[in-house]
């Protein structure tokens, strides 16, 4: 008591010299009392996740960020996407619906650390508080996702981490299945459309054949061309015979007249057959063959496209099964035994240093003002 009484006098005199010293001392004492004695314990449950792909045939893409950080993980983008999902307002609301986080954070803890609004907290206020109690960070070096959940009860902290892990796995699997299903659905739609197109082109080809009464106009044209060539050969033979007879017979000899009649008949027949093949502005076989060739080409093209679409559909189905994402839990959410938060000595030291710096800055400003007044 004598020592305390001895020290109390000089300390009181030192504090009375400047109100700033009194305020600084009071702030330091309050900070130390709060962080060392009043601040509520918070338990931290930690888990570690990694996302793996079932696609074993595709090579890993080169990531400049991974090269710089030294990370060898090939699913960095997926893990960052999962991180944003776990930190999203929707996830906070889902956790609150299942685990009643508003009630937990609003009814427990000291006056400064608890959520003041409690169960009546707005979506924005609850989400801001949620981000202070749930940490989801990506470890660039190890290539894993670290999930840390804080609560005023160890069981509640573990439940939050467990639900985050479960929802993260469900989200990644759902997203992967949805993307794969969208790809397969699109390919199936393309196959159906091309199948209808193939049937329509084949139907048009059959209708054209029925209308023209022939299977292949090109084959018919070849037959007519062969007939014309044969007739032209016969006419050439008759013309040679006539030329030979005209050397020793008169022009009106019956044999020469008969040859002339046969040659005229062949010429008419050749003209008729050639008219079937081609004629200006007529419905001839060459135009029929051209129209048939276009229909046949379109039908073959549609069939090739249909075959390509079928191949792409099968490949898409295989890719859909090989590129699914799987969330692997490297560390299951633990049940904490000791409260890791708040870090009392560390936090108290930080606050005391901050108060001293602010007090020094305020003292410097007051000294500058006094100098200017003088």
pLDDT of residue 326: 73
CA of residue 307 relative to chain centroid, distance = 27
Compute the Cα dihedral for 334, 336, 340, 342 and give only its sign: positive
pLDDT of residue 59: 45
**Which letter does DSSP use for residue 371 in this model?**
H
Work out the widest C-alpha separation in the chain, in whole angstroms. Answer: 171
Rounded distance between C-alpha atoms, residue 63 and residue 77, angstroms? 10
pLDDT of residue 57: 47
pLDDT of residue 61: 45
Q: Is the Cβ–Cβ distance between 154 and 45 less than 8 Å?
A: yes
pLDDT of residue 311: 81
In this predicted model, what pLDDT tens digit does every residue of 119-142 receive, in sequence order?
Answer: 788 889 989 999 999 999 988 888
Find, among 135, 97, 129, the residue nearest to 113 by Cα.
129
Buried b (16+ CB within 10 A) or exposed e, 113-139: bbbeeeeebeeeebbebbeebbebebe
pLDDT of residue 220: 65
Rounded distance between C-alpha atoms, residue 227 and residue 238, angstroms? 17
pLDDT of residue 32: 85
Rounded distance between C-alpha atoms, residue 357 and residue 27, angstroms? 12
**Which letter does DSSP use for residue 37 in this model?**
I
pLDDT of residue 3: 47
pLDDT of residue 60: 44
Rounded distance between C-alpha atoms, residue 14 and residue 12, angstroms? 5
pLDDT of residue 8: 52
Find, among 175, 167, 143, the residue nearest to 323 by Cα.
175
Collect the ranges in the chain with pLDDT lower than 50: 1, 3-4, 7, 11, 14-15, 56-73, 282
């Amino acid at each position: 008591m004598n020592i305390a009484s001895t020290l109390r006098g000089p300390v009181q005199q030192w504090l009375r010299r400047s109100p700033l010293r009194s305020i600084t001392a009071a702030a330091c004492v309050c900070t130390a009392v709060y962080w060392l004695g009043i601040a509520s314990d918070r338990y931290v449950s930690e888990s570690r996740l990694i996302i793996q792909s079932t696609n074993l045939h595709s090579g890993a893409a080169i990531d400049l960020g991974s090269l710089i950080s030294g990370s060898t993980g090939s699913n960095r983008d997926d893990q960052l996407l999962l991180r944003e999902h776990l930190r999203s307002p929707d996830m906070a609301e889902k956790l609150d619906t299942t685990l009643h986080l508003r009630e937990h954070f609003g009814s427990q803890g000291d006056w400064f650390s608890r959520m003041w609004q409690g169960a009546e907290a707005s979506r924005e206020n609850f989400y801001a508080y949620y981000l202070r109690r749930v940490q989801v960070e990506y470890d660039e070096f190890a290539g894993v996702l670290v999930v840390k959940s804080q609560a005023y009860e160890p069981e509640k902290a573990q439940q939050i981490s467990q639900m985050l892990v479960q929802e993260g796995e469900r989200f990644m699997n759902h997203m992967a299945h949805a993307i794969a299903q969208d790809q397969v659905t699109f390919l199936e739609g393309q196959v159906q459309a091309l199948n209808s197109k193939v049937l329509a082109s084949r139907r048009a080809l059959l209708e054209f054949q029925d209308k023209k009464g022939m299977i292949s106009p090109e084959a018919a044209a070849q037959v007519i061309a062969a007939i014309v060539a044969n007739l032209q050969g016969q006419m050439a033979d008759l013309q040679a015979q006539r030329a030979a007879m005209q050397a020793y017979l008169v022009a009106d000899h019956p044999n020469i007249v008969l040859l002339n009649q046969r040659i005229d008949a062949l010429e008419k027949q050749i003209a008729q057959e050639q008219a079937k093949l081609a004629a200006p502005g007529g419905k001839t076989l060459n135009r029929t063959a051209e129209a048939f060739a276009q229909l046949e080409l379109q039908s073959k093209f549609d069939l090739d496209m249909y075959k390509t679409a079928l191949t792409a559909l099968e490949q898409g189905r295989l890719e859909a099964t090989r590129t699914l994402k799987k969330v692997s839990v490297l560390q299951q959410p633990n049940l904490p035994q000791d409260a890791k938060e708040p870090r009392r000595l560390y936090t108290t030291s930080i606050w005391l240093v901050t108060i001293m710096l602010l007090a020094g800055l305020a003292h410097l400003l007051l000294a500058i003002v006094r100098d200017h007044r003088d």
